[in-house]
């Protein structure tokens, strides 16, 4: 058979499709041919993708400069016979590797979820006989039958349909089931508009059909999405990028300083072994061993905080990524909207009514043009609502305090609107018993019922498209229920006005007949005749979440662009975007919406520009969502993508952070995402962004706090070697300083509460360094102060004839004192320590207390003196150290004041 994947099946006539597939519209395939095609095309299942071996994925977790630094530290401490410290360092490295390893199988899990979505069995016609077979045995050319409740087992071209409606929301984003027809479509018809096709994993909500399979397994649209998930590149997060760059920078500086120390020692005539040990001492002192552990713990704290705000993090760095986000690309259906159709307006002659409330929850009311209560509705309004209730096959049910529709979402919205207006649906159904029905069919575009009205009369009720209802009307009801001339132009104008707001418009009509007519046979015979009275229009939409409107406003205030990428219609997307605030109020000549069909015609360069400048993308295919995310990333944007459907999965994985919906989201979307919202609420994203920014702030605070210790120790050792003097800090003492201060003091900064004005800042530039010029200056300043203080006190102590052990203990303890003082400065990188609430973070005080006890043990316990070559200190030593610590506190506060003054002058000049 010729290549089937290149066929435009939606463009071919039914007979041409069958001919191309060498199938028959009644007999289907014969069993032998089906077996041969199964051998040729393979089973109807999504293939497993080739993956790296578990061992290779585990080893790749160590491929990171920061890990290299830790491994060097572990080896050095091992060579120094410091087995406990070495074990701790290697344990941190190993735990980090395990966490990373466990995250690597996300893409494979997403593909497995796609496999599960395919139907397990299918009803197929072979040799003219219907049979039920495993869906994996379907082949191109098989003739299948579909009925209400079936999951479509493979991509198929429809051959015959009867009132067929398919829910394609997970694949295309369409918010309501799609009415299918057997028609020939244009070649360039996009996937979401191919009404003559049925796609694998979508759900038949109504009707029956026969269809011929045109693609199975990997060749289906679902299979193509699986391929896109596996090929989408998982990018480094802003945090991992910055830590990677920072670690490389730090690695080269440490190596350069260690090399300089070695050369300086040779210059002074020291032995190779002594020089080597001095270089190792400097490397151990300068390596921030506690950094990876504190980064991981800080992110884990962010995970816990986000979980309390309905955001479950599946990958630790995603916590900070949201704080770096510059653009949020959101799906519409179920994310920004309620995913529940809602009647918003009702139009009758002389009146337009508004409904309050959203979704299927009947709580709400109908506003009228006068002061009448709901029991005194205008007759035309009541009859319009009545038609929506009685000409209806669906039901509203309440499950776990949530209202749901059993049946068609459009009919659910009609029932809700009637209840809001005060009608009792159950009483009306009992009072006006249904006698006959003409089900909705695509060629008719309406549904009709006959119901008991009075003892002498029955009533025929219709709902459907405006065109089909209007041409069957001879007059219309006025507000008093009397017949009035049919104002066709006025009705059409009203419908067009409602449609321009993105509303789906249904027309309703009625006709009273004598009670001796007990069925619709007479109506069927004269259905084209104008015999009805037009009652009104009901206009509905899947409304925006109210909390999403506020969340979008918060994101925009924080400098984050919000874009809508949806498979729904352009007018609907535009209306929702304007209500939410993604688009400005209507402006003549500017829609702000780009469709998938328009995107397909753009060059790569034009796509980059449109992706950046356009706020709403409608009727887009899954691969176009992926292209849009990639185009934005090419502009160095940090992109968060939200979604809940299968069609969102590739873009969720490609985005810097993928955000899936926990309630309505498919398993495929959840597995591809980095974060899952447990309440399906876009508003939770704004809260997560705030938490993410706080996490990054606290990490910067920690790095700004810890580096002066490492650089200061390195400088002390370097200066001593260059001057040919005794080392003020031994390697084992440097390890003590680095590990204890990082855990007991520095870790407290991870619990620092967010500062005011956090969401008033613009997003960080993606290419900005992890430390600003101001912070680098402050780190170097404090490092110099530590060098001066520690080296000065060490030399003073020696000059007083005190032992080296006492002098070194004095130098090491000065580092602890200064770092404890500097901890208060780092609680805010810009505000004065006096303006930071002293007890807003109690862990600061707990950390200082524990560190003080540990350092006292280091100084005064004999076994610690033996282990770390320390010695007890006298009262004068403490007086000198505490005085110097107070001096450092005042000095850094003065430096902060200077920087604040500069920022204020810059802001005023701008």
Of 197, 204, 203, the closest CA to residue 156 belongs to 197
Q: Where are the alpha helices (DSSP H) in 405-482?
A: 409-420, 425-431, 466-470
User: Cβ distance 562 to 330 under 8 Å?
Assistant: yes
Provide φ and ψ at 242, rounded to 5°. -70, -40
Of 871, 740, 854, the closest CA to residue 806 belongs to 871
The answer to whether 331 is a known catalytic residue is: yes
Give the burial class of 866: count Cβ atoms within 10 A of its Cβ; 0-12 exposed, 13-18 middle, 19 or more buried.
exposed
Provide φ and ψ at 481, rounded to 5°. 85, 10
In the set 155, 331, 542, 697, the catalytic residue is: 331
Q: What letter would DSSP give residue 217?
A: G
HEC string of 575-635 equals HHHHHHCCCCCCECCECCEEEHHHHCCCCHHHHHHHHHHCCEEECCCHHHHHHHHHHHHHC
Structure-token pair, residue 324: 């770096």
Count of H helices and E strands in the chain? 32, 27
Rounded Cα distance between 209 and 161, Å, is: 4
Rounded Cα distance between 650 and 232, Å, is: 6
Structure-token pair, residue 267: 């210059």
Pairing of strands 129-134, 121-126: antiparallel
Please identify which residue in the block is written with the tokens 């506020």.
550
Between the alpha carbon of residue 468 and those of residues 163, 180, 447, 591, 834, the distances in Å are 16, 18, 10, 29, 74
Give the burial class of 251: count Cβ atoms within 10 A of its Cβ; 0-12 exposed, 13-18 middle, 19 or more buried.
middle
User: Three-state SS for 498?
Assistant: helix
Rounded Cα distance between 102 and 98, Å, is: 6
Residues identified as active-site: 331
């Amino acid at each position: 058979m010729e290549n089937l994947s290149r066929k435009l099946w939606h463009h071919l006539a039914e007979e041409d499709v069958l001919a191309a597939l060498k199938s028959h519209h009644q007999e289907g395939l014969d069993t032998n041919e089906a077996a041969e095609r199964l051998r040729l095309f393979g089973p109807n299942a999504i293939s497993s993708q080739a993956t790296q071996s578990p061992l290779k994925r585990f080893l790749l977790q160590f491929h990171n400069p920061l890990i290299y630094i830790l491994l060097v530290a572990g080896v050095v401490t091992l060579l120094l016979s410091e087995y406990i410290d070495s074990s701790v360092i290697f344990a941190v490295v190993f735990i980090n590797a395990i966490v990373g390893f466990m995250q690597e199988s996300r893409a494979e899990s997403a593909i497995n979820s796609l496999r599960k979505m395919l139907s397990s069995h299918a009803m197929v016609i072979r040799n003219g006989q219907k049979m039920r077979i495993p869906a994996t045995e379907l082949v191109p050319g098989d003739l299948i039958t579909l009925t209400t409740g079936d999951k479509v087992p493979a991509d198929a071209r429809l051959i015959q349909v009867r009132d067929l409606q398919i829910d394609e929301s997970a694949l295309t984003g369409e918010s309501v089931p799609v009415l299918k027809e057997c028609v020939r479509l244009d070649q360039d018809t996009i996937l979401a508009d191919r009404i003559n096709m049925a796609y694998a994993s979508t759900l038949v909500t109504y009707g029956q059909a026969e269809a011929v399979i045109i693609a199975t397994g990997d060749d289906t649209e679902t299979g193509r999405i699986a391929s896109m998930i596996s090929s989408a590149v998982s990018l480094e997060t802003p945090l991992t990028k910055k830590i990677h760059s920072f670690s490389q920078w730090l690695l080269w500086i440490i190596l350069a300083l260690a090399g300089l120390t070695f050369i300086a020692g040779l210059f002074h005539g020291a032995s190779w072994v002594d020089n080597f040990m001095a270089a190792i001492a400097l490397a151990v002192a300068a390596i921030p061993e506690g950094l990876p552990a504190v980064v991981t713990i800080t992110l884990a704290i962010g995970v816990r905080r986000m979980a309390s705000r309905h955001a479950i993090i599946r990958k630790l760095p995603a916590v900070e990524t949201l704080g770096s986000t510059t653009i949020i690309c959101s799906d519409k259906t179920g994310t920004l909207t309620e995913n529940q159709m809602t009647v918003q307006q009702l139009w009758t002659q002389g009146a337009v009514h508004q409904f309050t409330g959203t979704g299927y929850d009947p709580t709400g009311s109908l506003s009228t043009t006068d002061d009448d209560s709901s029991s005194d509705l205008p007759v035309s309004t009541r009859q319009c609502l009545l038609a929506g209730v009685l000409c209806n096959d669906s039901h509203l049910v309440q499950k776990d305090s949530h209202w749901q529709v059993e049946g068609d979402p459009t009919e659910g919205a009609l029932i809700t609107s009637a209840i809001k207006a005060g009608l009792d649906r159950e009483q009306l159904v009992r009072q006006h018993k249904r006698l006959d029905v003409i089900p909705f069919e695509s060629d008719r575009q309406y549904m009709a019922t006959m119901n008991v009205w009075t003892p002498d009369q029955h009533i025929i009720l219709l709902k459907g498209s405006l065109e089909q209802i209007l041409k069957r009307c001879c007059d219309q009801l006025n507000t008093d229920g009397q017949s009035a001339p049919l104002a066709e132009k006025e009705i059409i104008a009203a419908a067009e006005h409602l449609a321009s707001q993105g509303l789906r418009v249904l027309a309703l009509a009625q006709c009273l007949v004598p009670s001796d007519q007990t069925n619709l046979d007479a109506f069927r015979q004269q259905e084209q005749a104008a015999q009805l009275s037009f009652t009104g229009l009901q206009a509905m939409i899947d409304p925006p979440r109210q909390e999403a409107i506020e969340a979008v406003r918060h994101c925009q205030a924080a400098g984050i662009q919000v874009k809508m990428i949806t498979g729904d219609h352009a007018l609907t997307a535009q209306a929702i975007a304007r209500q939410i605030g993604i688009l400005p109020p209507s402006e003549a000549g500017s829609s702000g919406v780009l469709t998938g069909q328009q995107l397909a015609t753009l060059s790569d360069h034009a796509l980059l520009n449109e992706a950046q400048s356009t706020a709403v993308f409608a009727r887009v295919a899954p691969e176009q969502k992926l292209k849009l995310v990639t185009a934005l990333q090419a502009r160095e944007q940090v992109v968060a993508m939200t979604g809940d459907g299968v069609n969102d999965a590739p873009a969720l994985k490609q985005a810097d952070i993928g955000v899936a919906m926990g309630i309505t989201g498919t398993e495929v979307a959840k597995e591809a995402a980095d974060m899952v919202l447990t309440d399906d609420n876009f508003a939770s994203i704004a809260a997560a962004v705030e938490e993410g920014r706080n996490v990054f702030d606290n990490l910067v605070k920690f790095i700004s706090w810890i580096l002066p210790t490492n650089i200061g120790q390195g400088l002390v050792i370097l200066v001593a070697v260059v001057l040919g003097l005794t080392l003020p800090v031994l390697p084992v003492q440097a390890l003590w300083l680095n590990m204890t201060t990082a855990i007991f003091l520095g870790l407290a900064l991870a619990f620092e509460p967010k500062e005011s004005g956090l969401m008033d800042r613009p997003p960080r530039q993606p290419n900005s360094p992890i430390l600003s010029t101001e912070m680098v200056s402050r780190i170097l300043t404090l490092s110099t102060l530590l060098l001066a203080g520690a080296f000065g006190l060490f030399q003073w102590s020696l000059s007083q004839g005190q032992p080296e052990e006492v002098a070194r203990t004095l130098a090491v303890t000065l580092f602890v004192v200064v770092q404890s003082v500097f901890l208060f400065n780092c609680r805010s990188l810009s505000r004065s320590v006096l303006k930071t609430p002293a007890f807003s973070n109690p862990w600061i005080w707990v950390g200082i207390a524990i560190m003080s006890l540990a350092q006292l043990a280091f100084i005064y316990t004999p076994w610690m003196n033996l282990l770390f070559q320390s010695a007890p200190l006298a009262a004068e030593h403490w007086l000198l150290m505490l005085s110097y610590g107070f001096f450092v506190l005042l000095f850094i506060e003065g430096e902060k004041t200077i920087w604040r003054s500069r920022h204020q002058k810059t802001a005023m000049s701008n």
